[in-house]
């Protein structure tokens, strides 16, 4: 029996979104002769006059190697608390009934929502209002529970590692300390894995509040061993341990941290102040999100798309696709959105980093 | 207590070998102040006058992003059946006693052997003769049991996927079928994963003997849908199903399959003969092994190195390091070398590929 | 006054073709409000029922970074000698009148033909029959006169250099001689420039028939200096100097040289035979043509497109755009197609290569 | 007759420096059996106790694909005005006699100085004091006269273009304006060429003071044509035309422009303020200098090295190697350092950019 399904992509863009869309479209059309509707700009596309287009095999031709999402993503945000301007003021309005109504008029039976924590929470709420939903997790920072990892993260680690490779030659030629700020507000996965892969000397992550004495000691120990440069990788959410000077990021928050290099600039300034070594700051920013997805992310995105269609076929709504080991499974959306996937400071990965001689800025007991 | 350990790399080169060596050296020296000896050219370096050098922090500086192995790898082969020329004839001689003797003279307590099936079997035999051994698995084809995956494979999939991306534009511009031969004599992992990631239309692997009718049907079905080109990825060990013409590879075997494009040339010729479509053959060959390792392979290689040193510290000899899920564990070497890790034709990965519309050449029942 | 112009791409695909198309479309529409027609599959699109489509700003959106040509290229060939099947036989028929007639019916004033030697000769012939033509040179081998260089070549050199970087690590780890066959039937530019950039030890080009003694001496000299491996880069059109064994490529010609590795296999076999060193052959083949164009090729292609529209505006037909120094100029098509741009064996580039210690296989006088 | 020569690298690091060093060493040793001395850390290595090492064939093995300089570069600066601390104050002292004296003690006949404007001016001054000098130009910004282009620039354009490719997908998915700040204090070459290659919509360079009305108009025109995103590339030295608000970069200058994104942040803020479009800032910073050199830069660096040795052989001191067209020539150092190579706002390259629909921010006459 032919069915019609819909898909949207929400939140920040992420390499592999197009692989998901292509996976949904190809498996729905080729295997089942279903019809697929693509909703534009996330849940925004279901507010006001619906914005959507039919997705055919032609629509998804050649998109597997491309970053971003052909469907666009939401910029205005949550339909449950939607910003509406009235008399010069902005109020937050619950437009979920309008969204459900608009969705029904499209004639689709189910909606695949691809997105992070925020998008999945909206999906849950709409599911309760009667919209049959399937979730696909998306987080470039790898901070979402409910799946071992999701697409985009692997690509980001690749981009950061390549940048670290590049920065090594300039750091070495100039005997400098390079402080590199990478994505990761709540979880330090990108900093940790690309730091190990990119031969960082110091890695600072939100899960381990750092001690600047420990950072400076590491740099000076390297110097005493003949290495005149060091590479420090800092997750944007890293912060100093209690009792030390707190970073002032008010201006940074106003203007976007990627603009100011909040934590990296702070760390660099402190290193120069404390041990008089020349430092340079690099804030990688948006380049970490872009470009062609890695093979891993293409495969994972494609398989997630295929699996979401499977779940719809079996009327398993309210579920989210998930990678566990090498298997694609599904979990309750509700179990995925309630807490964060953070680096365990006692994990094998962290211990491996330390065994390799990398300093994670753990406080020194003196 | 300071100890001396040794390491060698055997078999075909593989991106990530230098990460292993660096991981061993850094964790042995920085964490434990041990001494590390690097044996050159695999087990060959323990035959005749031993060839080795001390590995210091300086020796491994800057090697993480580099392909190959700074220690070289064996070319002459198995010390248990070593080719010795005498009176114009080549005899195979068991030199294991000489190897054990030479090793003892180095003053090392244990040897870390990094290698594939062949190297690990030699390690087992030498372990029985009293050389304390720890194994680190290496296989670019991913055909080794005892570990979920090992370093090098991820890099190879990346290189093949990039090549497939490139070949797409030329195939599309010329309305051609490109047949691309990739590594994988016994297992089709590289073909399968890079084929999915690189938008292949047909993937041929040793685990699923292929039916040329099925291959040709897939190409013609695509054509009827408006796609004038197709990409076929064939593992070098793929072969046609029973009852069909068998490939004659005698000459190819003499000259190296990479030279002739054994299976790819056969498939291309058959497609042209059967459905009169222009084909081109590309044999990727040795480029698949080279170049900078991917972040995944750098991290995995580093962690394997760290773990091998841990095993020596605990005197756990005869063990091989292993990735299981996201954990680094260890298994008995003997359990790793007795059978191959091959693609399961009924696995989720294969079914995902088929759901995406990829043909694996399964025989058509008519 | 609004005008209508047409464009087609002929011959082998080449990175930068889409940059040309985009440059033509954008400068014609944005600057002049002209209309642009894209003819499909080279001159084939003007044989029989014309195949064309309107090219708008939308049609060329996002194509700058993509390899290949969105217009397709010819596969059947020359309309002046077009293969027509009749009664089971293939005759070559002059269809130029049909082509001119078809073109007139499109309502375009002029045609921009992007292609190599073959395409430009056809353009010249059609120009004489009354079709106003502007040529844009295309040759990935850089063997066309009339322009310092054209797009695609720079990208190909980049791809080959990256492959040589990769092969270094495997050659070094295994103490092997790698013989790498690259594009260049008549001219050795790709072999020469990528060989210098990729640290080749021996470079064989069609312009300098090679002496195998000289090649073997170079490899042995390296060995005596402690370098146990060597990299030989051979243009596919390289051949041994008079008096030495001639390569038999009959079968290779039938099946495509990329399939057999004609000259590379010959050279590798001879090296092994003469000095008993292990060799491996890699034939890079079609990957050299594909993938995203380099910045240089994107800029050059774009500027060529802009210039071609300028020429049409000034009714300067029969001209070909050309790069001279850093300037984009134009020359008579007829001056570009009468001879080849080959490497001068006495040029500064060749001498630089030799000063760096690279052997070009010049015969040794003994 | 065997001679001894020396080489140093000064100023900011640049991809291709190692190619130069390797070219000098290989052609000096292999062709002429000379001896080569490498001075460490630029002219700093000749201040106080000389820091140098012998450069052999082994020293330069494998360095061609590596960024940075194996010799290090100067951090303290000009020996003609060297910062010396005394009684807590820093005075600038002329140490040129010490440098000349130290150089003589090394036993080298001539010094090859690789560097930009600053390094070459020092070389000139030392030449007048009796040190035989040959110059090799280095500028990643391409702002040096006396040579068509030099190594490093081509690599930087490649890195920026790749970043722009990546940012396209995120800009497009989010309907944003991305403002990307790239190198170029005095000359806009990198912004201009990578902007054309990377499909920028607006390019701001120091040679054309920009009008923000013109920038905002371009973005709105694109929007009216259906392109909801735009990419703005700004050279770090770009600045607004007279009469408009001047950027306050006092803090930026204190902390390094790469940290604050001086001009890019200003432009982004103004766009948001004037036309209420969401903007994001990316400051590429030091990644532009690093990593493996492009083939062009490897070849050019190698040839420059070979040529410098030629000049010494002919005792042509006070000369600088230079690329003119495809030829490697030499010019007087004095002619290279007296003025900058800036983009001509009326050049063909700029006009091509404008013909492609790119806005350079030229003031609008209203």
Helix/strand/coil (H, E, C) string of A254-282?
A: HHCHHHHCHHHHHHHHHHHHHHCCCEEEE
B128 to each of B44, B131, B173, B311, how far by Cα in Å?
A: 19, 7, 59, 18
Q: What is the pLDDT of residue A255?
A: 36
Chain centre to alpha carbon of residue C362: 25
Task: Please check whether residue A42 is in contact with residue A73, taking contact to mean a CB–CB distance below 8 angstroms.
Answer: yes
Residue A231 has pLDDT above 70, yes or no: yes
Q: Are residues C67 and B283, on separate chains, in Cβ contact within 8 Å?
A: no
Cβ burial, residue B154 (10 Å; 0-12/13-18/19+): buried
Q: Which residues make beta-bridge pairs with C91?
A: C84
Q: How many CB atoms lie within 10 A of CB C185?
A: 13
Q: Are residues B154 and A296, on separate chains, in Cβ contact within 8 Å?
A: yes
pLDDT confidence band for B78 (50 / 70 / 90)? confident
What per-residue string of b and e applies to B199-226 under the rule 16 or more CB within 10 Å gives b?
Answer: bbbbbbbbbbbbbbebbbebbeebbeee
Q: What is the dihedral of CA B39, B40, B43, B46, to 10 degrees?
A: -70
Tell me: the pLDDT tens digits for B206-219? 999 999 999 999 99
Which residues of chain A lie closer than 8 angstroms to B292, CB-CB? Answer: 165
In a domain, D277, yes or no: yes
Query: Which of B24, B147, B295 is best to mutate for the A interface (most A CBs within 10 A)?
Result: B295
Q: What is the pLDDT of residue B247?
A: 47
Residue C130 has pLDDT above 80, yes or no: yes
Q: Which residues make beta-bridge pairs with A287?
A: none
In a domain, D339, yes or no: no
Q: How many CB atoms lie within 10 A of CB C246?
A: 10
Q: What is the pLDDT of residue C133?
A: 97
Q: What is the pLDDT of residue B85?
A: 83
Query: Which of A171, A175, A259 is best to mutate for the D interface (most D CBs within 10 A)?
Result: A259
Q: Searching chain B, which residue's CA lies closest to the CA of residue C281?
A: B259
Q: What is the pLDDT of residue B32?
A: 95
Catalytic residue among A13, A41, A141, A297: A141
Q: What is the pLDDT of residue D365?
A: 65
Q: Are residues C65 and D199, on separate chains, in Cβ contact within 8 Å?
A: yes
Query: Which of D355, D357, D358, D359 is best to mutate for the C interface (most C CBs within 10 A)?
Result: D355
Q: Which residues make beta-bridge pairs with A84?
A: A91
D8 vs B8: CA distance, rounded Å? 38
Q: Searching chain D, which residue's CA lies closest to the CA of residue C156?
A: D295
Q: Are residues C302 and D196, on separate chains, in Cβ contact within 8 Å?
A: yes
Question: What percent of chain D clears pLDDT 90, i.e. is strictly above it?
Answer: 79
In a domain, C256, yes or no: yes
What the block records as the tokens of A194 is 């690309």
Residue B245 has pLDDT above 60, yes or no: no
Residue B191 has pLDDT above 90, yes or no: yes
Highest-confidence segment of B152-161, B222-231, D70-79? B152-161
Q: Give mean pLDDT, residues B53-81.
A: 90
Q: Searching chain D, which residue's CA lies closest to the CA of residue C22?
A: D356
Residue A248 has pLDDT above 70, yes or no: no
What's the predicted TM-score (pTM) here?
Answer: 0.93
Candidate from A21-35, A66-80, A178-192, C97-111 with smallest mean pLDDT: A66-80
Conformation bin of residue C172: beta by default, left when phi > 0, alpha when psi is -120 to 50: alpha
pLDDT confidence band for A180 (50 / 70 / 90)? very high
Q: Searching chain D, which residue's CA lies closest to the CA of residue A67?
A: D169
Q: Are residues B291 and C162, on separate chains, in Cβ contact within 8 Å?
A: yes
Q: Are residues B282 and C282, on separate chains, in Cβ contact within 8 Å?
A: no
> How many domains, in total, are found in chain D?
2
Say if residue A216 is in the same domain as residue A313. Answer: no
pLDDT confidence band for C244 (50 / 70 / 90)? low
Strands of chain C, DSSP E? 4-9, 35-39, 52-55, 82-86, 89-93, 110-115, 133-137, 177-182, 202-204, 230-235, 279-283, 319-324, 327-332
Which residues of chain D lie closer than 8 angstroms to C158, CB-CB? Answer: 294-295
What the block records as the tokens of D55 is 């450069």
Alpha-carbon distance D139 to nearest alpha carbon in chain A (angstroms) = 14
DSSP state of C208: S
Full domain range(s) for residue B230: 155-288+344-355
**DSSP letter string over B137-176?**
E--TT--BSSSS--TTHHHHHHHHHHHHHHHHHHHHHHT-
Catalytic residue among B13, B141, B201, B211: B141
Q: What is the pLDDT of residue D337?
A: 85
What the block records as the tokens of B117 is 């099936």
Say if residue A136 is in the same domain as residue A267. Answer: no
Say if residue D132 is in the same domain as residue D229. Answer: no
D261 vs B349: CA distance, rounded Å? 45
Q: What is the pLDDT of residue B28?
A: 97
Residue B244 has pLDDT above 60, yes or no: no
Say if residue C136 is in the same domain as residue C254. Answer: no
B354 vs D242: CA distance, rounded Å? 63
Q: What is the pLDDT of residue A252?
A: 38
Which residues of chain B lie closer than 8 angstroms to C265, CB-CB? Answer: 255, 259
Tell me: the pLDDT tens digits for C257-296? 333 458 999 999 999 999 999 999 999 999 999 889 999 9
Q: Searching chain A, which residue's CA lies closest to the CA of residue B26?
A: A356
What the block records as the tokens of D43 is 């002219």
In a domain, C260, yes or no: yes
Q: Are residues C258 and B73, on separate chains, in Cβ contact within 8 Å?
A: no
Q: Searching chain C, which residue's CA lies closest to the CA of residue B17?
A: C173
Q: What is the dihedral of CA D32, D37, D38, D43, to 10 degrees?
A: -120
pLDDT confidence band for C299 (50 / 70 / 90)? very high
Chain centre to alpha carbon of residue A114: 12
Q: Are residues B357 and A26, on separate chains, in Cβ contact within 8 Å?
A: yes
The beta-carbon neighbor of D169 closest among A67, A178, A259 is A67
Side by side, which strands form the sheet with C52-55? C52-55, C35-39, C4-9, C110-115, C133-137, C319-324, C327-332
Say if residue A78 is in the same domain as residue A208. Answer: no
Tell me: the pLDDT tens digits for A113-163? 999 999 999 999 999 999 999 999 999 999 998 999 999 999 999 999 999
Residue C247 has pLDDT above 60, yes or no: no
More confident residue, C170 or C183: C183
Which residues of chain B lie closer than 8 angstroms to C17, CB-CB? Answer: 173
Q: Any residues with CB less than 8 A from the CB of B280 and at least 6 apart, and which?
A: B171, B176, B177, B178, B179, B268, C256, C258, C285, C286
Which residues of chain D lie closer than 8 angstroms to C26, CB-CB? Answer: 355-357
B35-39 and B52-55 strand pairing: antiparallel
Strands of C18-73, DSSP E? 35-39, 52-55
D74 vs D109: CA distance, rounded Å? 22
Residue C255 has pLDDT above 50, yes or no: no
Q: Any residues with CB less than 8 A from the CB of B231 and at least 6 apart, and which?
A: B164, B167, B168, B171, B177, B178, B180, B198, B199, B200, B201, B202
Residue B254 has pLDDT above 90, yes or no: no
Say if residue B34 is in the same domain as residue B178. Answer: no
More confident residue, D246 or A222: A222
Q: What is the dihedral of CA C186, C191, C193, C198, to 10 degrees?
A: 170
The beta-carbon neighbor of B299 closest among A193, A328, A357 is A193
Catalytic residue among C13, C44, C141, C201: C141
DSSP-based three-state secondary structure for A86: strand
Conformation bin of residue C153: beta by default, left when phi > 0, alpha when psi is -120 to 50: alpha
Task: Please check whether residue B111 is in contact with residue B312, taking contact to mean a CB–CB distance below 8 angstroms.
Answer: no
Query: Which of B15, B62, B90, B173 is best to mutate for the C interface (most C CBs within 10 A)?
Result: B173
Say if residue B349 is in the same domain as residue B223. Answer: yes
Q: Are residues D31 and C154, on separate chains, in Cβ contact within 8 Å?
A: no
D214 vs D202: CA distance, rounded Å? 10
Q: Give mean pLDDT, residues B53-78.
A: 91
Task: Please check whether residue C136 is in contact with residue C114, taking contact to mean a CB–CB distance below 8 angstroms.
Answer: yes
**DSSP letter string over D8-72?**
EE-SS--TTHHHHHHHHHHIIIIIH--EEEEESSGGGGGSSS--EEEE-TGGGTT-TT--S-TT-
Say if residue A231 is in the same domain as residue A348. Answer: yes
Task: Please check whether residue D181 is in contact with residue D264, taking contact to mean a CB–CB distance below 8 angstroms.
Answer: yes
A236 vs D259: CA distance, rounded Å? 14
Helices C262-275 & C212-224 angle (0-180, nearest 10): 60
Q: Are residues B306 and A193, on separate chains, in Cβ contact within 8 Å?
A: no
pLDDT confidence band for B365 (50 / 70 / 90)? low
Q: Are residues B178 and C72, on separate chains, in Cβ contact within 8 Å?
A: no
D94 vs D43: CA distance, rounded Å? 13
Task: Please check whether residue D111 is in contact with residue D279, taking contact to mean a CB–CB distance below 8 angstroms.
Answer: no
The beta-carbon neighbor of A298 closest among B197, B306, B307 is B197
Residue C227 has pLDDT above 90, yes or no: no
The beta-carbon neighbor of C68 closest among B69, B172, B285 is B172
DSSP-based three-state secondary structure for C96: helix
A251 to each of A242, A247, A261, how far by Cα in Å?
A: 22, 11, 11
Tell me: the pLDDT tens digits for A252-297? 343 333 334 589 999 999 999 999 999 999 999 999 998 899 999 9
Q: What is the pLDDT of residue A245?
A: 46
Tell me: the pLDDT tens digits for C330-343? 999 998 887 899 99
DSSP state of A107: T
In a domain, D331, yes or no: no
pLDDT confidence band for B83 (50 / 70 / 90)? confident
Q: Phi then psi for D277, rounded to 5 degrees? A: -115, 145
Alpha-carbon distance A204 to nearest alpha carbon in chain B (angstroms) = 17
Task: Please check whether residue B13 is in contact with residue B73, taking contact to mean a CB–CB distance below 8 angstroms.
Answer: yes
D141 is catalytic: yes
Q: What is the pLDDT of residue D1?
A: 64
Q: Are residues C159 and B165, on separate chains, in Cβ contact within 8 Å?
A: no
Say if residue B78 is in the same domain as residue B219. Answer: no
Q: What is the pLDDT of residue D247?
A: 47
Q: What is the pLDDT of residue C261?
A: 54
Which residues of chain C lie closer than 8 angstroms to B166, CB-CB? Answer: 67, 159, 286-287, 289-291
Query: Which of C114, C169, C171, C248 is best to mutate for the B interface (most B CBs within 10 A)?
Result: C169
In a domain, D130, yes or no: yes
Could you tell me how many CB contacts below 8 A there are between chain B and chain C?
Answer: 144
Q: What is the pLDDT of residue C366?
A: 55
Question: What percent of chain A clears pLDDT 70, i.e. is strictly above it?
Answer: 93
Q: Are residues A72 and D287, on separate chains, in Cβ contact within 8 Å?
A: no
Q: Give mean pLDDT, residues B21-50.
A: 96
pLDDT confidence band for C77 (50 / 70 / 90)? confident
CATH number at residue D189: 3.40.50.460
Q: What is the pLDDT of residue B253?
A: 41
Task: Please check whether residue C330 is in contact with residue C319, taking contact to mean a CB–CB distance below 8 angstroms.
Answer: yes
D319-324 and D133-137 strand pairing: parallel
pLDDT confidence band for B274 (50 / 70 / 90)? very high
The beta-carbon neighbor of A68 closest among D9, D68, D170 is D170
In a domain, D361, yes or no: no
Q: What is the pLDDT of residue B1?
A: 64
A149 vs A138: CA distance, rounded Å? 9
Say if residue A131 is in the same domain as residue A188. Answer: no
Q: Which residues make beta-bridge pairs with C86?
A: C89
Alpha-carbon distance A13 to nearest alpha carbon in chain B (angstroms) = 19
DSSP-based three-state secondary structure for B291: coil
C145 vs A61: CA distance, rounded Å? 38
Q: Give mean pLDDT, residues C251-260.
A: 38
Q: Which residue, among D228, D235, D67, has the nearest Cα to D160 in the 3D structure?
A: D235
Say if residue B136 is in the same domain as residue B189. Answer: no
Which residues of chain D lie closer than 8 angstroms to A173, CB-CB? Answer: 9, 13, 17, 68-69, 72-73
Q: What is the pLDDT of residue A1?
A: 64
Residues of chain D with pLDDT under 70: 1, 242-261, 365-366
Say if residue A304 is in the same domain as residue A282. Answer: no
pLDDT confidence band for C55 (50 / 70 / 90)? very high
Candidate from A311-315, B223-227, D7-11, D188-192 with smallest mean pLDDT: B223-227
Q: How many CB atoms lie within 10 A of CB D339?
A: 12
Q: Give mean pLDDT, residues A4-22.
A: 96
Task: Please check whether residue D111 is in contact with residue D7, taking contact to mean a CB–CB distance below 8 angstroms.
Answer: yes
Instruction: Please count the CA atoms within 13 angstroms of the CA of B51 that sit on its side-chain side.
Output: 13
* Helix, strand, coil percentages in chain A from 3-state DSSP, rounded to 5: 40, 20, 40
Catalytic residue among D141, D211, D297, D330: D141
Residue C253 has pLDDT above 70, yes or no: no
Q: How many CB atoms lie within 10 A of CB A1?
A: 5
Q: What is the pLDDT of residue C135?
A: 97
In a domain, A339, yes or no: no
Which residues of chain B lie closer than 8 angstroms to A352, CB-CB? Answer: 302-303, 306-307, 328
Which residues of chain D lie closer than 8 angstroms to C67, CB-CB? Answer: none
| Residue positions counted in chain C | 366
More confident residue, C88 or B354: B354
């Amino acid at each position: 029996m032919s069915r019609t399904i819909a898909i949207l992509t929400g939140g920040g863009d992420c390499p592999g979104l197009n692989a998901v869309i292509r996976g949904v479209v190809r498996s729905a059309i080729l295997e089942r002769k279903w019809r697929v509707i693509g909703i534009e700009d996330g849940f925004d596309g279901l507010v006001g006059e619906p914005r959507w287009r039919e997705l055919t095999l032609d629509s998804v031709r050649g998109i597997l190697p491309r970053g971003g999402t052909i469907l666009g993503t939401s910029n205005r945000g949550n339909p449950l608390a939607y910003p509406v301007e009235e008399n010069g003021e902005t109020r937050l309005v619950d437009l979920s009934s309008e969204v459900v109504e608009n969705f029904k008029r499209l004639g689709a039976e189910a909606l695949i929502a691809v997105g992070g924590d925020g998008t999945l929470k909206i999906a849950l709420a709409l599911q309760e209002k009667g919209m049959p939903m399937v979730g696909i997790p998306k987080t470039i920072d790898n901070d979402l529970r409910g799946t071992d990892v999701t697409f985009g993260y692997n690509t980001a680690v690749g981009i950061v590692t390549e940048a670290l490779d590049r920065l090594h030659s300039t750091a070495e030629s100039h005997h400098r300390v390079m402080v590199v700020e990478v994505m990761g507000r709540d979880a330090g996965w990108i900093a940790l894995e690309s730091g190990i892969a990119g031969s960082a000397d110091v890695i600072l992550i939100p899960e381990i509040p750092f001690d600047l004495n420990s950072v400076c000691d590491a740099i000076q120990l390297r110097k005493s061993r003949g290495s005149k440069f060091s590479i420090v990788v800092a997750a944007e959410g890293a912060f100093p341990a209690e009792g030390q000077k707190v970073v002032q990021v008010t201006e940074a928050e106003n203007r976007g941290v990627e603009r100011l290099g909040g934590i990296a600039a702070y760390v660099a300034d402190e290193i120069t102040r404390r041990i008089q070594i020349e430092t340079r700051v690099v804030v990688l920013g948006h380049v970490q999100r872009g470009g062609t997805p890695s093979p891993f992310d293409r495969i994972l995105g494609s398989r997630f798309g295929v699996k979401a269609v499977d779940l719809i076929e079996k009327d398993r709504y309210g579920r989210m696709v998930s990678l566990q080991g090498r298997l694609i499974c599904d979990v309750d959306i509700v179990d995925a959105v309630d807490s964060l996937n953070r680096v365990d400071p006692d994990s094998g990965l962290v211990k491996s980093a330390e065994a390799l001689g990398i300093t994670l800025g753990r406080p020194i007991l003196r």
